[in-house]
Amino acid sequence: MKNNVIVITGASKGIGAKLALQLAERGASLSLAARNLKELEAVAAQCRAKGAKVLAVKCDVGVDEDCKALIAATVAEFGRIDTLVNNAGATMWARFEDIRDMAILQQIMQVNYMGAVYCTHYALPHLKASKGRLVGISSLAGRTGVPTRTGYAASKHAMTGFFDSLRIELDGTGVTVTMVYPGFVSTGIRENASGPDGKPIAVSPVKEGEVMGVEECTRIIVEAMETRRREVIMTARGKIGLWLKLVAPGMIDRIAKRAIETGR
């Protein structure tokens, strides 16, 4: 990834921030985007300390014009775009019947799905010019339903359908599409998930110490980017689960339910 110009959305914390740091160590030039500019600048400073060239852009990916401005600022700063990592996301933790305001689901779809669509739309001409990479950070919930995550799973399924279709359209252009499907990752940001009232739940329902670490997750993502892999299913349980879904879908429903109940 040396000298690769990489745009990362949702780069102020979690997977996005750690991914930026690992790519900075590999000599990439980074355009980092997030809504919280103060937190984003802190990540940018750490990346610069590792010798990387970094642009920090305040951006809400759910807003079309923000995405357009992000791509324009990146091209103005670096002259091109080699890789776009669609990482920004919003999540939830509530049973559908308990949700009081459907705007929660609309917001999650706007960020997780349309945010990736907007950024990809504006970046695509530049990626075609560089024969670059498109990367989507999805979730195992983008491949199978998960209780308490109805809106989140729907948005990630939409993201999967979009990028799988786009991959076929881009055949022969030199642009590759890599989809990443993590399970639970210890990012420390799950407490921001929307509860049934639309407010952050404040306390993570996941046993953070018993799930994949963010360092391991981002290492796998970087390797997938470097080799232009088609898709990455992060865990053995995830791989087995997707196979079982074909032959014993009822079992997968029970496994998904238990995973949420146990928080791991």
- Domains identified in the chain and CATH numbers: 5-235 (3.40.50.720)
Q: Looking at residue 148, what is its pLDDT?
A: 86
Q: Looking at residue 196, what is its pLDDT?
A: 77
Cβ–Cβ < 8 Å for 212, 196: no
Cβ–Cβ < 8 Å for 215, 117: no
Confidence of residue 106 (pLDDT cuts 50, 70, 90): very high
Q: Looking at residue 50, what is its pLDDT?
A: 96
Question: Span 189-194, mean pLDDT?
Answer: 60
**What DSSP state is assigned to residue 9?**
E
Scored b (16 or more CB within 10 A) or e, 58-70 reads: bbbbbbbebbebb
Tokens of 169: 């359209």
Percent with pLDDT over 70 in the chain: 88
Query: Which of 84-93, 145-154, 229-238, 254-263 is predicted with the least confidence, judged by mean pLDDT?
Result: 254-263
Question: Span 49-76, mean pLDDT?
Answer: 97
Tokens of 43: 């990540």
Query: Which of 44-58, 143-157, 176-190 is predicted with the least confidence, judged by mean pLDDT?
Result: 176-190
Residues 18 and 21: their CA atoms lie apart, in Å, by: 5
Question: Span 78-89, mean pLDDT?
Answer: 97
Choose the catalytic residue: 113, 118, 122, 152: 152
Question: Span 236-260, mean pLDDT?
Answer: 73
Q: Looking at residue 100, what is its pLDDT?
A: 87
Orientation angle between helical segments 64-78 and 115-130, nearest 10 degrees:
30
- Kindly tell me if the per-residue pLDDT of 175 is higher than 90: yes
- In 50-99, alpha helices (H): 64-78
- Kindly tell me if the per-residue pLDDT of 236 is higher than 60: yes
- Kindly tell me if the per-residue pLDDT of 238 is higher than 80: no
Question: Span 146-174, mean pLDDT?
Answer: 94
Sheet of 133-137, strands arranged across: 54-58, 29-34, 5-9, 83-86, 133-137, 176-181, 231-233
Full-model pTM: 0.87
Q: Looking at residue 263, what is its pLDDT?
A: 58
Residues 77 and 239: their CA atoms lie apart, in Å, by: 40
Tokens of 261: 């109940």
Mean pLDDT taken over the chain? 88
Residue of 243 and 32 predicted with greater confidence: 32
Q: Looking at residue 22, what is its pLDDT?
A: 96
Phi, psi of 155 (to 5 degrees): -65, -35
**Residue 152 annotated as catalytic:** yes
Using one digit for the tens of pLDDT, what is the confidence trace for 193-209? Answer: 667 777 766 555 555 55
Q: Tokens 């900075």, residue? A: 24
- Kindly tell me if the per-residue pLDDT of 104 is higher than 60: yes
- What is the CA angle 127-32-22, rounded to 5? 90
Residues 211 and 182: their CA atoms lie apart, in Å, by: 11
Q: Tokens 């997938």, residue? A: 224
Residue of 189 and 214 predicted with greater confidence: 214
Residues 70 and 8: their CA atoms lie apart, in Å, by: 10
Confidence of residue 264 (pLDDT cuts 50, 70, 90): low
Cβ–Cβ < 8 Å for 47, 54: yes
DSSP-derived 3-state class of residue 181? strand
